[in-house]
Chains A and B, each alone.
Chain A
Amino acid sequence: MATFAPERRSNRRAGEVGAASVGAMEQTAAARQAERPPLDAESSRWLADLRSGGRTYDEAVERLHSLLLGAARHEVRRRRQSLPSLRGEELEDIALQAADDALVSVLRRLDTYRGLSRFTTWAYKFALLEAAVALRRRAWQGREVTLEPEGWEAFAGARGPVEDSEQAELLTAVRVGIDEALTSHQRKVLLALAVDGVPIDVLADRLGSTRGALYKTLHDARRKLRAHLTEQGLALEGGAS
């Protein structure tokens, strides 16, 4: 079972390759070489064309950009209802910028493509990531992100009475655990992401951090909180400890 291994991921945004991790990633890639299936013809052609030169390369880059733009537009369509204030041309600009950024990422990381999926599936995810991050940032543009401990009090008070006594007990224990078991930074990150619903990319921007680093903080906070609750003798869903 693969488990969370923060030492390899703590300082990179999803999709980015940190210099410190290159060696580890190369080892991983080499270890997986043996399990790599033969490339399908279409993926082989993509790789050959993007590694060629001249007109073949230029045309492949153009086709790739068109492919990525289609994926970015797909992401924009999925989210446009959450951004009613944006006009069509603004959404198209976001899609275009996402496709441009994704093209750079794909060409830069071409040698990391392992052939474990079709090339197009591998490339799509870069465009989806760029578009999703841009749209989340846009949705939170100008919105304040509160990182104060009072946020938890406001949340708990707004929910009203809890009828289920077991849940009420668990909720109280969670509140105590958040206050007592977590560091100040863990508390702020947990409340912002899990209670206030701040997107992780937006919080990373506001804190000058990265998605990977913030998720590690969230993961560690959850683990400490679960351990605290288990120590209190509380049963958790999933049987976690």
Chain B
Amino acid sequence: MEDILHRILGPAEPEIGCVECFEELDRYVEAEIAGGDADAAVPGLRAHLDGCPACREEHESLLELVRGGA
């Protein structure tokens, strides 16, 4: 039940939209891999990933691809 409520209500924090998320995703992922403060580098992106399954999937895929040394 918590899961469905979370999906309905979404993130509480301010978030960016899908287009800005796409624009910033590469920078965010590299900051994550470098061990930097990705959330400070791109405020609102983490909250968007929490609320948008499609962008979350694409973030996970890019992170996996780059981390794998592709």
Task: Say whether, besides A132-B57, A199-B54, A222-B51, A121 and B15 are in contact (CB < 8 Å).
Answer: no
Q: Is A143's CB within 8 Å of the partner chain B? A: no
Are A211 and B25 in contact, CB atoms less than 8 angstroms apart? no
Q: Is A162's CB within 8 Å of the partner chain B? A: yes
Minimum CB–CB distance for A83 against chain B, Å: 14
Residues of B near A136 (CB, < 8 A) are 54
Minimum CB–CB distance for B67 against chain A, Å: 11
Are B12 and A121 in contact, CB atoms less than 8 angstroms apart? no
Are B26 and A4 in contact, CB atoms less than 8 angstroms apart? no
Residues of B near A194 (CB, < 8 A) are 4, 7-8, 10
Residues of A near B13 (CB, < 8 A) are 238, 240
Are A211 and B54 in contact, CB atoms less than 8 angstroms apart? yes
Are B8 and A195 in contact, CB atoms less than 8 angstroms apart? yes
Are B62 and A9 in contact, CB atoms less than 8 angstroms apart? no
Task: Say whether, besides A71-B65, A125-B62, A212 and B17 are in contact (CB < 8 Å).
Answer: yes
Interface set, chain A 121-172, CB cutoff 8 A to B? 121-122, 124-125, 128-129, 132, 136, 155, 159, 162, 164, 167, 170-171
Task: Say whether, besides A70-B70, A132-B57, A222-B10, A14 and B65 are in contact (CB < 8 Å).
Answer: no
Distance A167 CA – B22 CA, assembled complex (angstroms): 35
0 or 1 for each of A170-190: is its CB under 8 Å from B? (1 = yes): 110010001000000000001
Residues of A near B1 (CB, < 8 A) are 159, 162, 164, 167, 171
Are A118 and B30 in contact, CB atoms less than 8 angstroms apart? yes
Interface set, chain B 1-51, CB cutoff 8 A to A? 1-2, 4-22, 25-27, 29-30, 42-44, 51
Residues of B near A216 (CB, < 8 A) are 17
Distance A12 CA – B65 CA, assembled complex (angstroms): 26
Task: Say whether, besides A74-B61, A164-B1, A195-B7, A6 and B17 are in contact (CB < 8 Å).
Answer: yes
Distance A14 CA – B53 CA, assembled complex (angstroms): 14
Of the candidates B6, B20, B44, B65, the one whose C-beta lies within 8 Å of that of A124 is B65
Distance A1 CA – B41 CA, assembled complex (angstroms): 10
Task: Say whether, besides A74-B65, A164-B1, A170-B5, A212 and B18 are in contact (CB < 8 Å).
Answer: yes
Are A124 and B12 in contact, CB atoms less than 8 angstroms apart? no
In the complex, besides A212-B19, A225-B9, 13 extra interface pairs with C-beta distance below 8 angstroms are A2-B16, A3-B14, A3-B16, A71-B70, A117-B30, A124-B66, A128-B61, A128-B65, A190-B8, A195-B4, A212-B17, A226-B9, A226-B12
The list of the 5 closest CB pairs from A to B, nearest first, reads A240-B12, A238-B12, A117-B26, A14-B22, A222-B10
